[in-house]
Structure 1
Amino acid sequence: MAPHSFFNPSQSSAFATLAPKRDSTFEYRYFRVHGMRSIPRTLIAIGTGSSVLSRLTNNFSQDWSTYKPTTPFGFLPVLTETSADGLTKLDIVESDVIERYLARKFGLLGDGSVFEEILVDTFTSSTQAVISKLFEKYLAIRDPTLRAANKEPLISDNISPWIKSHEQHLQANGANGHYVGDSVTLADVKTDNLISIIQGVTGEELVSEEKTPAIWKVKKELEKVEGVAVWRASEEYKGISERNFDFLGFY
């Protein structure tokens, strides 16, 4: 049996060509929500800057039932990258893999040293663990009684310990809005996502500019990035956010 087309060794040359390029266009196939999979959109916005709206195409997979069998595992998201000249194309699946590929492409894993890359990975992993738990035990639960029962344990066992430790680590880096050095990394983007989720669950009870200034600074610094500002001001982003709030309860 031949390997899936995404995994065919012939893709190697496409990756070698496109991985170092920063002038590609991107199609991101995922549903019309943020969910746990909004990070690649933000990373592309950072990497493409003011041109994000012309270089990021969101495919909301209205044809999911038809498209699903063609994916390697039957899941979204799928990222398709195309070279500026349109001659080279590659496909990547699995959200964590997509995130790290884009972070590496756009220089969002630190200064290039192994040490800083490990730091970024460590903070990112810690934050993702909380995001995953919140989806598993709260956001994806439709039964309001079960959601209510799960809320306090999530706060005491997951959210509060994350806030305490990450506020300390960010303070130790100068409370400059970044986990590593003085520039945006994947860890910052992941925390911005978690801030929105926590506020959807608890309002400003736990995370706010007053209560967690170093964590909040991450959000404010990311909002200053040109591509992020352009993307989040777009009608498409606003529509995704409204649908996400209706479906999952956070923006």
Structure 2
Amino acid sequence: MARRIKLTYFDIKGVAEPIRYLLAYGGVDFEDNRIKREDWPKLKPNTPYGKMPVLEVDGKVAHQSLAIARHLARQFKLLGSNDWEALQVDAAVDTISDVRLAVRDMFFEEDHGLKAKKQQTLEKETLPFYLPRLDEQVKDNGGHFVGGKLTWPDIQFAALHDFLGVMAGKPLTDGYPNLKGLYDKVNALPAIKAWIAKRPVTEW
């Protein structure tokens, strides 16, 4: 019997998009349950720790986007070929998360003066620190983050790229050909390409 799988998140790409990519990559049929922001307050008390995304598998509920993605990556053999590669995979995912959190912190800052300072720090310090190193890592690993083959951080980066680009004000791959090549490579995978073609069109 086929499993009943439902992913619940807002009607945006956001941190749920890597999960959607992974489910698509694994050929998993799932319900993409997208909720409106005005409906979130009444749904929030019924979610684990009041947060999304939430993955339901045959009635069992899981939360935390990275934990869900890691679970799926394990199922689809995207954690590397050995323990050392698995460590490198986790390190790459955590580094991508460092970038995501820095971009998010700037974007959602409500104090205009502080936001301008955070934006300057992001553009002059944070991204110039991380992106060249990530680009070089991909170059050194044959077009991937780890082991010269597709692993979870490749999908994580590609799935978050458009979302983060909107918040940062420009694509993170601008000027970084190896990251751009990886982004294009992941999005060209047949199952992920099919997902992109059918998913709802959202700005971010």
The TM tier, using the shorter chain, reads: 0.7 to 0.9
- Structure 2 partner of 1:189: 155
Q: Which sections of structure 1, spanning at least 5 residues, go unmatched?
A: 1-22, 83-88, 245-251
> Quick check: 2:15–2:53 contact (8 Å CA) kept in 1?
no
Instruction: Work out which of the residue numbers 180, 195, 200 in structure 2 matches 1:237.
Output: 200
The alignment status of 1:33 with 2:3, answered yes or no, reads no
TM-score, scaled relative to structure 1: 0.72
- Structure 2 partner of 1:81: 57
Higher mean C-alpha deviation, range 119-128 or range 178-187: 178-187
Letter in 2 for 1:237: P
- Structure 1 partner of 2:64: 94
Letter in 2 for 1:100: R
SS of match in other structure, 2:155: helix
Larger Rg: 1 or 2? 1
- Residues 1-251 of structure 1: matches in 2 within 5 Å? 24-48=3-27, 55-62=29-36, 63-82=39-58, 89-111=59-81, 113-138=82-107, 140-142=108-110, 145-174=113-142, 176=143, 178-200=144-166, 201-203=168-170, 207-208=173-174, 211-234=175-198, 236-238=199-201, 241-242=202-203, 244=204
Distance 1:229 1:171 in 2: 23
Distance 1:225 1:149 in 2: 39
Distance 1:44 1:133 in 2: 27
Share of identical aligned residues, percent? 25
1:227 deviation in Å?
Answer: 1.4
Count of matched residue pairs: 201
Letter in 2 for 1:119: Q
Letter in 2 for 1:69: P
1:35 deviation in Å?
Answer: 2.0
TM-score, scaled relative to structure 2: 0.87
1:137 deviation in Å?
Answer: 1.9
Spell out, residue by residue over 1:27-78, the C-alpha distance to the aligned partner (whole angstroms, 9 max, x if none): 1011101123321111111111xxx6xx121112355444322223111111
Cα distance change of structure 1 residues 41 and 152 upon mapping to structure 2, 3 Å threshold:
same
Letter in 2 for 1:203: K
Distance 1:222 1:237 in 2: 19
Letter in 1 for 2:83: V
Q: Which sections of structure 2, spanning at least 5 residues, go unmatched?
A: none
